[in-house]
């Protein structure tokens, strides 16, 4: 009986370790891993915009709210003004509306119940806090 408990406990511990093990990078579109710093607009951030913000013509050809994310690089100007404030995700409307509506703008993307993945939101926030550089 004791042998069964030890084996069961070992198996359970192994499952917990494998399910909780993480490298804190997250994965994004096309299984791109997001690093904790030095995010590339071209490699990490633009694919998020292409997959979630431009499809359905929200911020591509239609330019909802006056924001065009289809141009490369975008200028981040909208009807609400500049929506990305380099080095300050907490003051960037683009980042804030990923969680909840803000300044008369609904939560983005509005057609998805759950919004962006946590890893995608974290990547966008890190990129903004690092200066929102679009030249890489």
Q: Is 83 exposed, middle or buried (0-12, 13-18, 19+ CB in 10 A)?
A: buried
Give the C-alpha separation, 62 to 56, whole Å.
Answer: 9
Report pLDDT digits (tens) over 85-130: 999 999 999 999 887 766 766 677 776 666 788 899 999 999 999 9
Tell me which of 2 and 80 has the higher pLDDT. Answer: 80
Report pLDDT digits (tens) over 20-67: 333 334 444 445 679 999 999 999 999 988 887 776 667 766 677 888
Mean pLDDT over each residue of the chain, to the nearest integer: 74
């Amino acid at each position: 009986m004791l042998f069964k408990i030890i084996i069961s406990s070992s198996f359970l511990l192994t499952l917990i370790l494998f399910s909780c093990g993480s490298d804190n990078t997250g994965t994004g579109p096309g299984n791109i891993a997001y690093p904790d710093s030095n995010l590339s607009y071209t490699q990490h951030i633009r694919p998020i915009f292409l997959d979630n913000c431009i499809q359905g013509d929200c911020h591509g050809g239609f330019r909802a709210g006056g924001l065009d994310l289809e141009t490369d690089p975008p200028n981040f100007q909208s009807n609400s003004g500049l929506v990305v404030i380099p080095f300050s995700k907490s003051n960037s409307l683009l980042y804030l509306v990923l969680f909840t509506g803000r300044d008369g703008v609904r939560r983005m993307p509005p057609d998805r119940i759950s919004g962006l993945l946590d890893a995608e939101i974290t990547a966008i926030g890190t990129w903004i806090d690092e200066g929102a550089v679009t030249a890489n």
